[in-house]
Amino acid sequence: MARTAGSHSDITGPRVLDAALRLFARHGYAAVSMRQIAKEVGVQAGALYNYTPDKQSLLFDLMRRHMDDLLASRAKRRRTGSALEKLEDFTRFHIRYHLDRSDEVFIAYMELRNLTPENFAEIEALRREYENELEAILRQGEEEGVFAPADTRIETMAVIAMLTGVTTWYRVEGRLSADEVERIYWDMVRKAVSV
Amino acid sequence: MARTAGSHSDITGPRVLDAALRLFARHGYAAVSMRQIAKEVGVQAGALYNYTPDKQSLLFDLMRRHMDDLLASRAKRRRTGSALEKLEDFTRFHIRYHLDRSDEVFIAYMELRNLTPENFAEIEALRREYENELEAILRQGEEEGVFAPADTRIETMAVIAMLTGVTTWYRVEGRLSADEVERIYWDMVRKAVSV
DNA sequence: AATTTAACTGAACATTCGTTCAAATCAAAG
DNA sequence: CTTTGATTTGAACGAATGTTCAGTTAAATT
């Protein structure tokens, strides 16, 4: 065969996902057309179908990648230590990760209802897996007696909601550095779950 | 004139907004067509335009009503007392209100980007007004010395994000009553901002 | 230089979109 | 019962939607 795999495809391919990511985050999945994505890439709409079977797959791929990357990044972090240490690690990781990938996070939380039922189930399972990591830490803390006895499932949801909310107001050019934000949120989380 | 103002209009009118509310909450503004709304009401699409100038106004009216109602409901609550009392009141109010109006709340947080710039500015101002109520309480608490000195603006955003997150998992037929949820969240909020 | 084929264009497809409007319908007033 | 006008229908509008595909372009192999 002439021409090795992808001469432009290894350039255009990623750009398609990049453009879809940015546009979906800005205007929402349903409000973005394939022609808008194509224009952003600098190509005609038909060419997109060399890189995705359909629009839905574009959304699903972005979410799937995000969740895989989130779980993989999390897995690299320390696993041992006290519940308090683990919670601080989780908190700082979550804040930093979400600040660094605001578009991906935004889509992952806003566009769930635009997934087909099967795709939704798959993403939801990954999200649940991530939440379970936090819940395990909270339970360990209860057993150690450093965290207040409480409904750990609700605590989990409350903490994650609080932390993820940082993406709605944080701006890199703003008043606070990511380090300061990490510290402020860690302060609140620690107190919220402690005895 | 024959026929006093609205013989069906006082029935159909509210039903249009009701249907739009439910459908927007379930599938998102951009994914819902005027024909879907009309079908839900039991009417042809053209008839909707007796009750709204266009689709955008439907979304804006829902948001505007929601924010007005939120601020009015909040204004009815107690204004005096210690910062701790006020914070408990705010927390319980917010949780209860958001559990009771999950569709409205969902739209108000998810569909902001589908508002025209002018409409967005108006809704955003009302939201800011609501946030400022909480921030004032947190500042009073700092002055009283019962709340830890902190960045009250970020604390505000963090607390509201945490509380509003309740809508993502709470189900009326679920394990916990609204009262229990109120108490659990109040526990976390109190500890999170206290010294 | 000739050949091969991946990458892309540009037009077309059947639907669906928000919106308009003349005509039909129908409940209340005279 | 007739009149009146609010209410709704049903068809139509141009534009936009996701997707397909025959044909063109151009890069890499022979």
Residues in B touching A106 (Cβ below 8 Å): none
User: A150 and A110: one domain?
Assistant: yes
How far is Cα B19 from Cα B25, in angstroms, rounded to an integer? 10
Considering only CA atoms, which residue is closest to the C1' of nucleotide C21? B46
pLDDT of residue B9: 67
pLDDT digits (tens, 9 = 90+) for B92-109: 999 999 999 999 999 999
What total number of domains does chain B contain? 2
Interchain CB distance below 8 Å, A157 and B151? no
Q: Domain of B95: which CATH number?
A: 1.10.357.10
The owner of tokens 């917010």 is B94
Please report, for residues A149, B10, B95, B123, the alpha-carbon distance to residue A155 in angstroms, rounded to integers and kept in the order given: 10, 45, 15, 30
Q: For residue B32, say whether its CB is under 7 Å from any atom of strand C.
A: yes
pLDDT of residue A2: 36
User: B134 and B154: one domain?
Assistant: yes
3-state class (DSSP) for residue A77: coil
User: A70 and A44: one domain?
Assistant: no
pLDDT digits (tens, 9 = 90+) for A91-136: 999 999 999 999 999 999 999 999 999 999 999 999 999 999 999 9
Interchain CB distance below 8 Å, A188 and B155? yes
How far is Cα B7 from Cα B16, in angstroms, rounded to an integer? 15
B-chain residue closest to A191, CA distance: B192
User: A114 and A39: one domain?
Assistant: no
Inside any domain, residue B34: yes
Q: With an 8 Å Cβ cutoff, is A189 touching chain B?
A: yes
Interchain CB distance below 8 Å, B160 and A165? yes
Confidence class for position B57, pLDDT limits 50, 70, 90 = very high
User: A117 and A160: one domain?
Assistant: yes
Which candidate from A114, A188, A191 shows the least CB-CB separation from B28? Answer: A114
pLDDT digits (tens, 9 = 90+) for A56-80: 999 999 999 999 999 999 999 878 8
Domain that residue A16 falls in: 1-52
3-state class (DSSP) for residue A194: strand
User: B146 and B182: one domain?
Assistant: yes
How far is Cα B89 from Cα B91, in angstroms, rounded to an integer? 5
All residues at 6 or more sequence positions from A129 whose CB lies less than 8 Å from its CB, including other chains: A71
pLDDT of residue A51: 95
Q: For residue B80, say whether its CB is under 7 Å from any atom of strand C.
A: no
pLDDT digits (tens, 9 = 90+) for A138-153: 999 999 999 999 999 9
User: Which comes out higher in pLDDT, residue B76 or B6?
Assistant: B76
User: B38 and B128: one domain?
Assistant: no
pLDDT of residue A4: 41
Half-sphere exposure (Cβ direction) of B138: Cα atoms closer than 13 Å? 25
A-chain residue closest to B191, CA distance: A192
Mean pLDDT across B53-68: 98
pLDDT of residue B4: 40
Share of chain B above pLDDT 70, in %: 95
User: B74 and B25: one domain?
Assistant: no
Write out the two tokens for B3.
Answer: 């026929």
Is the pLDDT at B157 greater than 50? The verdict is yes
User: B103 and B28: one domain?
Assistant: no
Amino acid symbol at A93: F
pLDDT digits (tens, 9 = 90+) for A5-62: 445 767 889 999 999 999 999 999 999 999 999 999 999 999 999 999 999 999 999 9
Is the pLDDT at A1 greater than 70? The verdict is no
pLDDT of residue B79: 80
Mean pLDDT across B101-130: 96
